[in-house]
Amino acid sequence: MFGNGMLLSQHIKLVAAFDHRHIFLDPNPDPASSWAERKRMFALERSSWADYNSALISTGGGVYSKEQKSIPISPEVRDVLGLDSDVVEMTPPQLVRAILLAPVDLFFNGGIGTYVKAESESQADVGDKANDAVRVNGNQVRAKVIGEGGNLGLTSRGRIEFELNGGRVNTDALDNSAGVDCSDHEVNIKILIDSLVSAGKIEASERTALLESMTDDVATLVLADNESQNNLMGTSRANAASLLSVHARQIAYLVNERGLDRELEALPSEKEIDRRAALGIGLTSPELATLMAHVKLGLKDDLLASDAPDQEVTLRRMVHYFPDVLRERFDAEIRQHPLRKEIYATMLVNSVVDCGGITYVYRLFEDAGTGSVDGLKTYVAVEAIFGLRSLWDRIRHADVPVAVSDRLTLDMRRLLDRASRWLISYRPQPLAVGAEINRFAEGIAELSPKLTTWLRGHDLEIVTKQTEDLVALGVPFDLASDVASCLYGFSLLDIIDIADIADRDGAEVADLYFTLMDDLRVDDLLTAVSQLERNDRWHSLARLAIRDDIYSSLRALTMDVLSVGEPDETGEQKIAEWEFTNASRLERARGTLAEIFASGEPDLATLSVAARQIRGMIRSSITGPA
């Protein structure tokens, strides 16, 4: 009758509903008693709204057959449905339309039929003649949010029109993805258990009980997947306007290289994208959900066509698809699952896109020419090196407002992006994921907790203030501190590499590196670079080039200063000795940098000169990672 959607909260005030037989009106419901009554009815076989206890319906409400010629409209119903004061009765189709247009918080579709289209679509375009008389346009719907417990309740263009008029909606595929996910888990678990029965490792009589014992565990796994995907949609919406140009290029790439049909998928034309850019708005949530789906499908296909799913790191991740009870007893057998490659590909692609963002792999392709599989491998390496999976989990489980959680996630993505480009640019390709994890992970884990002890001056002020701001928003101190300092943690890749090349202690190198960063006001330059426009690909690449140049020069300068300093000297002492032996060259560069800092807000040309001046300080020939 209404599925289980209206049983998920005891605080729902269900003011109106309809199915193919009845119209239900309860203009001022008691949440507790109405929830209990819905639960009672849900347990009845072949129940209908006619089974609802009329004594529990508030004044002015009732249950009416759709066979009636007219239905009386009480003042209470007029008020809750936002009807004109002279409306005293309506035909059933008129009342259904009024319910669809009610000014409510949530319109929940749990049935069969398409009830919302776009104004630009005809009834024939929809292809659901049975509901032509009641169907409304997306720009007419006054609900704040639409949740889709059924399929095809809205047309794709109807969803987009609703969002462009201030509503919030995903897609039916996204809102219903838990059911598909649950079925996938069920099938894959049964394949494993049946193979165990055939091998004599469990008794056939144990099969049913074992399956039933995992019900809650599977639900937890499925809900985690769906929570992750909805978190992605939240951050994508928050970033939609600023990433519109990237999304536009990504859609064009999918059209040209993957055969995506914009018209069929209701993705915006280039003309529509230009219109939105002028208005400062991005893709809508339904469009982002569609783009996400095609990105995931494409990445999964590419991954399965490669040798990546055959590697050991694959199996370590894949086993976590299964409930604990199976992993504890049959870890080796899980690793031989006949669909292990497909399971791994789904898991990895979900992690990369949900955590890294819809455009993560595509931007690596744009920035560095990285293929999709190499982009996925890079994510695996960065995630393990910096322990990002744990940080994502801490962010998702922090009891903070959604906007704060989105901010934390976006800050973490900056670390992911920069560390990914570093590995792609400076480490041997194709990336040996296991070797890179072994090279860097231990050092990162050792040095990261000490980051704030090495930061100086303005850099330390930035991290301290960001930490305080996040704590004020309700973020636990440890998480706030880790996120606030994470972007500086990216530099630990250079620091560990320098320590290895120069055969010096990592802590010594870190102290010098961050002292130099403060001394040369590198962070001021990097902040200015981040504020440059990135309206198109070329502006974005110019920003990246300047930033990479500054970081590369800072690395080389650290090597220079190390070569003239002693291990027991402080960073300041090493720099003083280095400056003494390079006075004339450094004086000219510092003079130019001082002019740049005094000039106000630097532009692309000014920052290019600044990067060149820092590069000009380098004495040694080492300008990039080994």
Domain harbouring 84, CATH code = 3.40.50
Sorted by sequence, the CB contacts under 8 Å of residue 101 that are 6+ apart come out as: 81, 82, 136, 140, 141, 142
Tokens of 449: 């907790």
- Beta-strand relationship, 62-65 and 71-72: unpaired
Q: Do residues 147 and 294 both lie within one domain?
A: no
Give per-residue pLDDT as tens, 131-166: 999 999 999 999 999 999 889 999 999 999 999 999
Nearest alpha carbon to residue 115 among 41, 262, 17: 17
The range of the structural domain enclosing residue 310 comes to 176-240+284-353
Total structural domains within the chain: 4
DSSP codes, 257-289? HH---HHHHTPPPHHHHHHHHHHT----HHHHH
pLDDT in the model for residue 49 = 94
Residues of the chain under the 50 pLDDT cut: 1, 620-626
Burial of 387 (0-12, 13-18, 19+ CB in 10 A): middle
Q: Do residues 77 and 168 both lie within one domain?
A: yes
Q: Give domain status of residue 273, yes or no.
A: no
Mean pLDDT of the chain: 93
Q: Give domain status of residue 114, yes or no.
A: yes
pLDDT in the model for residue 621 = 35
Q: Do residues 429 and 520 both lie within one domain?
A: no
Rounded Cα distance, 178 and 333, in Å: 26
Of 353, 375, 390, which one is at a domain's C-terminal end? 353
Q: Give domain status of residue 270, yes or no.
A: no
Q: Do residues 338 and 414 both lie within one domain?
A: no
Q: Do residues 193 and 73 both lie within one domain?
A: no
pLDDT in the model for residue 2 = 52
Nearest alpha carbon to residue 511 among 577, 567, 437: 567
Q: Do residues 447 and 549 both lie within one domain?
A: no
Alpha helices (runs of H) in 92-238, residue ranges in sequence order? 92-100, 123-126, 156-164, 172-175, 177-198, 207-213, 215-238
Of 490, 521, 538, which one is at a domain's C-terminal end? 490
Give per-residue pLDDT as tens, 369-422: 999 999 999 999 999 999 999 999 999 999 999 999 999 999 999 999 999 999
* CB hemisphere CA count around 521 (13 angstroms): 16
Residue 509: other Cβ atoms inside 10 A: 26
Q: What is the pTM of this model?
A: 0.92
Sorted by sequence, the CB contacts under 8 Å of residue 388 that are 6+ apart come out as: 355, 382, 412, 415, 416
Q: Give domain status of residue 87, yes or no.
A: yes
- Beta-strand relationship, 22-25 and 16-18: antiparallel
pLDDT in the model for residue 1 = 44
Q: Give domain status of residue 277, yes or no.
A: no
